[in-house]
C-alpha cells in the first residue's frame, strides 16, 4: 500500500513484516527513529519480537549475533560512531556466517563530531565480510531490506547484509513509499530455517579458535561466497519482481542513460537522484551524459561495471567518503575494474563531496561534469570553501 511516510518509519514497517525474533539496538542519530518505531511496535504488541535494550552498540551487535546463532531472525540498526563501536562484533558476525541484517543510517565520522550524512561509516567497514547495498530512495531502502533477508538467509550464502541509507536525506525524508503487504512479504520471505544453531539438545560450538591449520579456509570461503553472490543477487531480484512488481535488474548497478554517453558520473546512494535530474536536464540540451549507480558495493561487481563503462570515454566517480592518504573508496574500485583491460574510459577522475552533510546540489553535479575533462584528477574535492583553508596553526 502506498503511503506518504518518513524513511525511518517505512523501514520499521518493513522490518515488522519480516518478523525478526530478536531486535537489539542503541539509539544514535540519525538511526533513532527506526528503532524507536520498532520498540513501540513491540511494546504495543503489534510485533511479536524481543526488543533487547542494551547499554551500547557493542552489546547490541553482540545480542543480535547471539540471537542469530540460536537460529532466530534478527535485526539491528546504527550509524557512524555506533557502527565503529560495533566493529569487532561486525567482523565476528560475518566470520561466524550469521545472516544478521543491519540498517546503516549513513553519517559522518568524528572528529570533529558531526551528525550529518556522508558514507564514511559503512565504507570504513567494507572489508568486514558484510554485503553492502546502497539505497537511492526510501522505496529502495524498504525493498533492499526484504532482499537482504532473502540473500543473507540463502543456504548458499549465510552472510550478513548491511543496508545503507543516507542519514537524514533518506531516514528523515518524507516520500511516497509502497509498503509491501504482509501476505506478499511472507510469500517472498518465509520463516527462517537455520542451517546450524546453538541448541542444548544438539550442542555445537561456533566461532572457536581456528589456528593456522584452519583459519585461512574460513576467509577463502567467505571470499568465494561473496564472488558467487553477484549472481545470486540477480536471481533474488527476479523473484522480488515477480512478487512485488519492482524490477531492480541485477541489483548490482543501475545504468541511467548510458547509451552513447560521453561523460558519466558513478555514485552511490541518495545523491543519484540529484544526478539523474542533472542528467535529464543535460540530455534535454543534447549533452551526452549519464549516471552509473552502484547498488552493491560489497560484493563489488567488477565485471558488470566493465560492461557498463567500457565504451564511455570520460568517467567521474563521486565519493561521499574518503580514504585518507589514498584514492577515494569507490574511485579505486572503478579504476581497478579497468586495469589491464583492452577497453575502458580514457579518464577516470575522482571527486569527493558531500562530507559531513554538505549538500550536494544540482550545481555541484554540474561542477563535476565541468571538471571532468581530458585531464584526469584524483584527489579533488567539490564544494570546498577555500577561505576556511586559510586557518593555520604554528609557524
Interacting residue ranges for other proteins, rule: CB under 8 A = 96-97, 158, 196, 203-206, 208, 210-211, 213-214, 217-221, 224-225, 228
Q: How far is CA 140 from CA 38, 179, 280, 325, 327, in A?
A: 19, 11, 21, 33, 28
Q: Minimum distance from CB of 203 to other proteins (Å)?
A: 5
Closer to other proteins by Cβ: residue 221 or 362: 221
Report cis status (omega within 30 of 0) of the bond before 164.
Answer: no
Distance (Å, rounded) from C-alpha 53 to C-alpha 178?
A: 30
Shortest Cβ 228–other proteins spacing (Å): 8
Shortest approach of other proteins to residue 99 CB, angstroms? 13
- Quick one: 202 or 391, whose CB is closer to other proteins? 202
Residue with grid cell 565503529, as numbered in its chain: 84
Comparing CB distances to other proteins, the nearer of 42 and 198 is: 198
Separation between Cα atoms, residue 170 and residue 173, nearest integer Å: 5
User: Dmax of the chain from CA atoms?
Assistant: 70
Return the beta strands (E) in 54-152 as ranges: 74-78, 101-106, 131-134
Helices 32-43 and 7-18: crossing angle in degrees, nearest 10, is 50
Nearer to other proteins, 90 or 305 (CB): 90
In the complex, what is the shortest distance from the CB of residue 61 to other proteins, in angstroms, rounded to a whole number?
A: 19
Query: Looking at beta carbons only, is 10 or 98 nearer to other proteins?
Result: 98
Shortest distance, position 202 Cβ to other proteins, whole Å: 9
**Minimal distance, residue 292 CB to other proteins, in Å:** 30
Q: What is the DSSP letter of 355?
A: G
The rounded Cα 131 to chain-centroid distance in angstroms is 8
Kind plus residue range of the DSSP H or E element containing 25 = strand 22-25
Q: What's the rounded Cα separation, in Å, for the pair 370 and 53? A: 50
Which residue, 233 or 289, has its beta carbon nearer to other proteins?
233
d(CA 277, CA 369): 13
CB of 297 to other proteins, least distance (A): 21
- Beta-ladder partners of 314: 263, 347
Instruction: Look at the alpha carbons of 24, 27, 28, 29 in this order and tell me if their dihedral is positive or negative.
Output: positive
96: helix, strand or coil: coil
Of the two residues 223 and 373, which places its CB atom closer to other proteins in the complex?
A: 223
Which residue, 213 or 387, has its beta carbon nearer to other proteins?
A: 213
Supply the minimum distance, in Å, between the C-beta of residue 88 and other proteins.
Answer: 18
Amino acid at each position: 500500500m502506498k503511503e506518504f511516510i518518513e524513511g525511518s518509519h517505512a523501514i520499521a514497517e518493513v522490518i515488522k513484516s519480516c518478523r525478526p525474533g530478536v531486535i537489539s539496538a542503541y539509539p544514535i542519530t540519525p538511526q533513532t527513529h527506526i528503532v524507536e518505531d520498532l520498540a513501540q511496535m513491540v511494546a504495543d504488541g503489534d510485533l511479536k519480537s524481543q526488543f533487547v535494550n542494551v547499554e551500547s552498540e557493542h552489546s547490541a551487535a553482540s545480542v543480535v549475533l547471539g540471537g542469530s546463532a540460536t537460529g532466530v531472525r534478527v535485526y539491528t540498526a546504527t550509524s557512524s560512531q555506533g557502527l565503529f563501536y560495533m566493529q569487532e562484533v561486525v567482523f565476528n558476525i560475518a566470520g561466524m556466517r550469521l545472516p544478521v541484517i543491519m540498517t546503516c543510517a549513513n553519517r559522518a565520522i568524528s572528529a570533529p563530531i558531526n551528525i550529518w550524512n556522508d558514507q564514511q561509516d559503512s565504507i570504513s567497514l567494507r572489508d568486514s565480510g558484510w554485503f553492502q547495498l546502497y539505497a537511492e530512495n526510501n522505496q529502495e531502502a524498504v525493498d533492499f531490506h526484504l532482499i537482504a533477508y532473502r540473500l543473507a538467509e540463502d543456504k548458499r550464502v549465510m552472510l550478513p547484509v548491511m543496508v545503507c541509507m543516507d542519514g537524514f536525506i533518506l531516514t528523515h525524508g518524507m516520500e511516497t513509499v509502497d509498503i509491501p503487504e504482509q501476505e506478499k512479504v511472507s510469500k517472498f520471505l518465509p520463516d527462517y530455517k537455520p542451517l546450524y544453531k546453538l541448541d542444548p539438545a544438539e550442542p555445537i560450538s561456533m566461532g572457536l579458535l581456528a589456528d593456522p591449520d584452519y583459519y585461512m579456509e574460513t576467509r577463502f570461503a567467505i571470499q568465494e561466497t561473496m564472488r558467487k553472490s553477484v549472481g545470486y543477487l540477480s536471481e533474488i531480484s527476479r523473484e522480488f519482481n515477480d512478487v512485488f512488481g519492482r524490477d531492480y535488474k541485477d541489483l548490482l548497478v543501475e545504468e541511467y542513460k548510458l547509451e552513447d554517453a560521453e561523460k558519466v558520473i558513478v555514485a552511490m546512494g541518495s545523491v543519484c537522484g540529484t544526478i539523474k535530474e542533472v542528467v535529464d536536464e543535460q540530455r534535454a540540451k543534447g549533452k551526452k551524459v549519464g549516471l552509473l549507480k552502484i547498488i552493491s558495493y560489497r560484493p563489488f561487481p567488477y565485471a558488470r561495471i566493465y560492461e557498463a563503462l567500457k565504451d564511455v570515454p570520460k568517467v567521474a566517480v563521486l565519493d561521499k567518503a574518503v580514504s585518507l592518504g589514498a584514492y577515494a573508496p569507490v574511485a579505486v574500485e572503478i579504476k581497478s575494474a579497468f586495469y589491464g583491460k583492452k577497453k575502458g574510459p580514457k579518464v577516470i577522475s575522482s571527486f569527493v563531496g558531500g562530507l559531513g552533510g554538505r549538500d550536494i546540489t544540482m550545481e555541484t553535479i554540474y561542477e563535476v561534469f565541468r571538471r571532468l575533462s581530458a585531464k584526469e584528477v584524483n584527489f579533488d574535492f567539490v564544494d570546498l570553501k577555500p577561505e576556511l583553508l586559510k586557518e593555520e596553526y604554528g609557524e
